[in-house]
């Protein structure tokens, strides 16, 4: 498609908000525009094409888009043929797409999550059109075969299932990402084999609920089957996956993680709330008792395992008692870390209509209390690692201190240590010397493998 090669001699920049699935979609967008001739720009002022890949899960990332677009307005004044495109989860909602079109006239293209394969044609239309081009069709064109331009040369995101069927009452994801579509096991194995051959050490399998993988496939492949197959791929050192859903995580899968050496000892298992009443209102499909039992099975089956979680505070109608029950689960489960958020009402979700009695100040106070408790637990757990040796995959030189190398343990903990130059992509053994709530300090014990 030579006529779509209009990026020659031009530069692009992609700004990504939100989760790892968005990070990966941005890698696909990057490859698509690179195939059109565009090269990466190092800052927005240098770019001829700016793409914002948006997130809709809470209000905060949505507000960020407006402030980013405000800034790019000025750029557009000085560079008339600059193309500004807005994609991702926020734009897949009709109201937001139309709002962006109306409010930010400098935007040339609004494209939803399903429009990724159509990006070249859409950009072509956008550069000729006076009006903003909008494509938010719910046309689930297959993603297989799209190119990827990965940010890392040793760590790769690999989506295994798109969309979500769970309809948690607070969550916008099923509306903006569509129903669950699993990739073929053969395509995933091929992709991971090629990554390993090309020197990638770690892959992270992505899905809103990886435990649903395969349920929509004709041969009924399960997530556990997929993990067992991937564990056999030579040259690969680590397999991660996220996110697990407590209602679908089976003891069989926990066994598979325990028995297959490449699969990292880490579960990201969102709790959301420790109150059965709130869990029911959230439509999560499990109780606190079931959740705590899962945590126990994980800890009994796998040595040195880490468990991280997501929590929502201030869900409509959450009482002090409900909140204390969440704190209770934190104390009992002893998570390695949590991502806690204040509930943010989302248009079109079931929870949007629920009555909310709590003030914002009260919610902020709860968030602070929860984060304080979690910080204490994290320091206690990390302190247990002092004096131990950990396998670390190095991500590169620390951004804040050029003398330090930064990497992650198999349990996904961040470790800083002094290193002889840049060890990016190397696997090293590090003796942990100091623990903090969010990271560990250590000393390298052996030369890298």
Where do contacts with ligand SF4 occur on this chain (CB under 6 A)?
Answer: 164, 166-168, 171, 173-174, 208-209, 245
The answer to whether 335 contacts ligand 5AD (rule: CB under 6 A) is: no
The answer to whether 240 contacts ligand 5AD (rule: CB under 6 A) is: no
Residues 44-83 within binding reach of ligand 5AD (CB under 6 A): 57-58
Candidate ranges 64-72, 136-144, 338-346, 377-385; the one touching ligand 5AD (CB under 6 A): 338-346
- Burial class for 436, CB neighbours closer than 10 Å (0-12, 13-18, 19+): middle
Q: How far is the CB of 157 from ligand SF4 (least distance, A)?
A: 17
Q: How far is the CB of 173 from ligand 5AD (least distance, A)?
A: 7
Q: Which does 209 bind (CB under 5 to 8 A by kind): ligand SF4, ligand 5AD, none?
A: ligand SF4
Site string for ligand 5AD, 111-150 (x = CB under 6 A): ----------------------------------------
Q: Which does 343 bind (CB under 5 to 8 A by kind): ligand 5AD, ligand SF4, none?
A: ligand 5AD
Q: How far is the CB of 6 from ligand SF4 (least distance, A)?
A: 36
The answer to whether 225 contacts ligand 5AD (rule: CB under 6 A) is: no
CA 341, 112, 131, 15: dihedral to nearest 10 degrees?
A: 50
Which two structure tokens, joined as six digits, stand for 412?
């996904």
- CA–CA distance, 207 with 158 (Å, rounded to integer): 9
Residues 202-221 within binding reach of ligand 5AD (CB under 6 A): none
Is the Cβ of residue 192 or residue 278 nearer to ligand 5AD in the bound state? Answer: 278
- In 261-420, which ranges are continuous DSSP H helix? 276-281, 288-301, 320-333, 360-383
Residues whose CB is less than 8 angstroms from the CB of residue 437 and which lie 6 or more positions away in sequence, other chains included: 375, 378, 379, 382
Is the Cβ of residue 58 or residue 408 nearer to ligand 5AD in the bound state? Answer: 58
Q: Which does 164 bind (CB under 5 to 8 A by kind): ligand SF4, ligand 5AD, none?
A: ligand SF4
The answer to whether 363 contacts ligand 5AD (rule: CB under 6 A) is: no
Helix (H) or strand (E) holding 51: strand 49-54
The answer to whether 344 contacts ligand 5AD (rule: CB under 6 A) is: yes
- Burial class for 34, CB neighbours closer than 10 Å (0-12, 13-18, 19+): middle
- Burial class for 56, CB neighbours closer than 10 Å (0-12, 13-18, 19+): buried
Closest among 375, 273, 270 to 321, alpha carbons compared: 273
CA dihedral over 142, 144, 147, 152, signed as positive or negative: positive
Q: Phi/psi at 265 (nearest 5 deg)?
A: -85, 65
Q: Which does 174 bind (CB under 5 to 8 A by kind): ligand SF4, ligand 5AD, none?
A: ligand SF4
Which two structure tokens, joined as six digits, stand for 301?
């089956």
- CA–CA distance, 246 with 251 (Å, rounded to integer): 11
Residues 268-287 within binding reach of ligand 5AD (CB under 6 A): 270, 272
Please give the DSSP secondary-structure letter assigned to residue 232: T
Residues 145-204 within binding reach of ligand 5AD (CB under 6 A): 170-171
Q: How far is the CB of 272 from ligand SF4 (least distance, A)?
A: 7
Q: Which residues bind ligand 5AD (CB under 6 A)?
A: 57-58, 170-171, 270, 272, 310, 312, 341, 343-344, 346
């Amino acid at each position: 498609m030579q006529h779509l090669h209009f990026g020659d001699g031009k530069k692009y920049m992609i700004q990504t908000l939100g989760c790892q699935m968005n990070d990966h979609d941005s890698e696909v967008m990057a490859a698509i525009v690179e195939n059109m001739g565009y090269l990466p720009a190092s800052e927005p002022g240098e770019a001829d094409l700016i793409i914002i890949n948006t997130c809709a899960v809470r209000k905060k990332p949505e507000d960020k888009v407006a402030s980013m677009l405000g800034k790019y307005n000025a750029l557009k004044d000085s560079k008339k043929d600059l193309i500004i495109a807005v994609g991702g989860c926020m734009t897949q909602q009709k109201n937001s797409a139309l709002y962006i079109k109306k409010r930010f006239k400098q935007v040339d293209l609004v494209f939803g999550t399903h429009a990724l394969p159509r990006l070249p044609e859409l950009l072509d239309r956008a550069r000729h059109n006076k009006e903003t081009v909008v494509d938010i069709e719910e046309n689930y064109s297959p993603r297989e075969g799209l190119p990827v331009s990965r940010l890392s040369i040793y760590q790769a995101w690999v989506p295994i299932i798109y969309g979500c069927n769970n309809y948690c009452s607070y969550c916008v994801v099923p509306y903006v990402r569509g129903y669950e579509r699993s990739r073929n096991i053969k395509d995933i194995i091929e992709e991971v084999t090629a990554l390993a051959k090309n020197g990638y050490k770690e892959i992270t399998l992505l899905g809103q609920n990886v435990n649903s993988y395969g349920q929509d496939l004709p041969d009924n492949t399960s997530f556990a089957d997929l993990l067992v197959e991937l564990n056999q791929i030579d040259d690969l050192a680590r397999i991660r996956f996220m996110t697990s859903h407590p209602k679908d995580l089976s003891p069989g899968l926990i066994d598979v993680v325990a028995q297959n050496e490449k699969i990292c000892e880490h579960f990201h298992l969102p709790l959301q709330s420790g109150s059965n009443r709130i869990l029911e209102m959230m439509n999560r499909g499990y109780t606190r008792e079931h959740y705590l039992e899962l945590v126990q099975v994980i800890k009994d089956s796998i040595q040195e395992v880490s468990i991280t979680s997501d929590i929502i505070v201030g869900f409509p109608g959450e009482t002090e008692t409900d909140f204390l029950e969440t704190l209770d689960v934190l104390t009992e489960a002893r998570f390695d870390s949590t991502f806690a958020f204040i509930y943010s009402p989302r248009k079109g979700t079931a929870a949007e209509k629920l009555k909310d009695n709590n003030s914002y100040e009260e919610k902020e106070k709860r968030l602070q209390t929860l984060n304080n408790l979690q910080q204490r637990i994290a320091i206690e757990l990390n302190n247990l690692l002092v004096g131990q040796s950990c396998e670390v995959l190095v991500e590169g030189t620390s951004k804040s201190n050029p003398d330090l190398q930064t990497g992650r343990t198999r349990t996904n903990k961040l470790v800083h240590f002094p290193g002889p130059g840049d060890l990016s992509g190397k696997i090293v053994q590090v003796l942990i010397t100091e623990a903090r709530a969010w990271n560990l300090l250590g000393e390298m014990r052996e030369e890298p493998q």
